[in-house]
Protein backbone atom coordinates (compact mmCIF):
# COMPACT_ATOMS: atom_id res chain seq x y z
CA UNK A 1 0.00 0.00 0.00
CA UNK A 2 1.26 3.43 -0.94
CA UNK A 3 2.05 5.82 1.94
CA UNK A 4 -0.10 8.95 2.32
CA UNK A 5 1.50 11.86 0.50
CA UNK A 6 0.28 15.44 0.41
CA UNK A 7 0.46 17.66 -2.66
CA UNK A 8 2.01 21.13 -2.36
CA UNK A 9 -0.50 23.76 -3.47
CA UNK A 10 2.32 25.92 -4.87
CA UNK A 11 4.46 23.55 -6.95
CA UNK A 12 2.24 20.46 -7.21
CA UNK A 13 4.87 18.00 -5.93
CA UNK A 14 4.13 15.29 -3.36
CA UNK A 15 5.57 15.29 0.16
CA UNK A 16 5.14 13.22 3.28
CA UNK A 17 2.79 14.42 5.99
CA UNK A 18 5.68 15.60 8.18
CA UNK A 19 7.78 17.30 5.49
CA UNK A 20 4.95 19.22 3.80
CA UNK A 21 4.84 21.66 6.73
CA UNK A 22 8.57 22.33 6.22
CA UNK A 23 8.32 22.50 2.43
CA UNK A 24 5.39 24.90 1.97
CA UNK A 25 6.95 28.02 3.62
CA UNK A 26 10.20 27.44 1.71
CA UNK A 27 8.32 26.86 -1.55
CA UNK A 28 6.28 30.04 -1.05
CA UNK A 29 9.44 32.06 -0.38
CA UNK A 30 11.03 30.65 -3.56
CA UNK A 31 7.81 31.46 -5.45
CA UNK A 32 7.98 35.10 -4.29
CA UNK A 33 11.62 35.43 -5.37
CA UNK A 34 10.91 33.96 -8.82
CA UNK A 35 7.70 35.96 -9.26
CA UNK A 36 9.45 39.26 -8.44
CA UNK A 37 12.07 38.56 -11.12
CA UNK A 38 9.42 38.27 -13.86
CA UNK A 39 8.31 41.18 -16.05
CA UNK A 40 5.32 42.98 -14.53
CA UNK A 41 2.85 41.63 -17.11
CA UNK A 42 3.72 38.01 -16.22
CA UNK A 43 3.57 38.35 -12.44
CA UNK A 44 0.87 36.33 -10.71
CA UNK A 45 -1.14 36.74 -7.55
CA UNK A 46 0.15 34.83 -4.54
CA UNK A 47 -1.24 31.28 -4.46
CA UNK A 48 -3.61 30.58 -1.61
CA UNK A 49 -3.94 27.31 0.22
CA UNK A 50 -7.22 25.76 -0.96
CA UNK A 51 -9.95 25.32 1.61
CA UNK A 52 -11.50 21.86 1.41
CA UNK A 53 -14.64 20.87 3.27
CA UNK A 54 -13.75 18.25 5.84
CA UNK A 55 -15.89 15.51 7.27
CA UNK A 56 -15.63 12.77 4.66
CA UNK A 57 -13.58 9.64 4.26
CA UNK A 58 -11.81 11.06 1.20
CA UNK A 59 -10.46 14.22 2.83
CA UNK A 60 -6.83 13.53 1.90
CA UNK A 61 -7.81 12.80 -1.70
CA UNK A 62 -9.95 15.94 -1.85
CA UNK A 63 -7.19 18.06 -0.31
CA UNK A 64 -4.62 16.68 -2.76
CA UNK A 65 -6.91 17.29 -5.72
CA UNK A 66 -7.60 20.87 -4.63
CA UNK A 67 -3.87 21.48 -4.08
CA UNK A 68 -3.05 20.04 -7.50
CA UNK A 69 -5.61 22.30 -9.21
CA UNK A 70 -4.20 25.27 -7.30
CA UNK A 71 -0.70 24.46 -8.59
CA UNK A 72 -2.00 24.02 -12.15
CA UNK A 73 -3.73 27.42 -11.97
CA UNK A 74 -0.27 29.00 -11.65
CA UNK A 75 0.57 27.97 -15.23
CA UNK A 76 0.18 30.43 -18.10
CA UNK A 77 -0.91 29.44 -21.63
CA UNK A 78 1.20 30.15 -24.70
CA UNK A 79 -0.49 32.62 -27.02
CA UNK A 80 0.51 30.57 -30.09
CA UNK A 81 -0.02 26.91 -29.22
CA UNK A 82 -2.05 27.05 -25.99
CA UNK A 83 0.27 24.82 -23.95
CA UNK A 84 0.73 25.89 -20.34
CA UNK A 85 4.03 26.75 -18.68
CA UNK A 86 5.45 28.36 -15.60
CA UNK A 87 6.02 32.05 -16.39
CA UNK A 88 9.82 31.82 -16.59
CA UNK A 89 9.56 28.82 -18.94
CA UNK A 90 6.88 30.53 -21.05
CA UNK A 91 9.34 33.23 -22.04
CA UNK A 92 11.82 30.59 -23.26
CA UNK A 93 9.08 28.63 -25.06
CA UNK A 94 7.71 31.67 -26.90
CA UNK A 95 11.10 32.33 -28.48
CA UNK A 96 10.87 29.10 -30.48
CA UNK A 97 7.07 28.55 -30.75
CA UNK A 98 5.55 29.17 -34.15
Give the DSSP letter string of 7-69: E-TTT--EEETTTHHHHHHHHHHHHHHHHHTS-GGG--PPP-PPP----STTHHHHHHHHHHH
Residues whose CB falls within 8 Å of the CB of residue 36, separated by 6 or more in sequence, listed in order: 43
Look at residue 19 and tell me if it is in a domain. yes
The pLDDT of residue 81: 92
Look at residue 87 and tell me if it is in a domain. no
The pLDDT of residue 58: 61
Look at residue 79 and tell me if it is in a domain. no
Residue-wise pLDDT for 14-68, tens only, equals: 999 889 999 999 999 999 999 999 888 888 889 888 887 555 556 888 888 888 8
Look at residue 90 and tell me if it is in a domain. no
Look at residue 80 and tell me if it is in a domain. no
Look at residue 64 and tell me if it is in a domain. yes
The pLDDT of residue 41: 84
Which burial class, exposed, middle or buried, applies to 33 when counting CB atoms under 10 A from its CB (0-12, 13-18, 19+)?
A: exposed
Look at residue 58 and tell me if it is in a domain. yes
What range does the domain containing 32 cover? 5-73
How many structural domains comprise the chain? 1
Lowest mean pLDDT among 25-29, 58-62, 79-83, 85-89: 58-62
Amino acid sequence: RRPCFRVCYICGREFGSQSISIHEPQCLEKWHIENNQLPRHLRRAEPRKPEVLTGGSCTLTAENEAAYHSAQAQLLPCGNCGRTFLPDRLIVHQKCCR
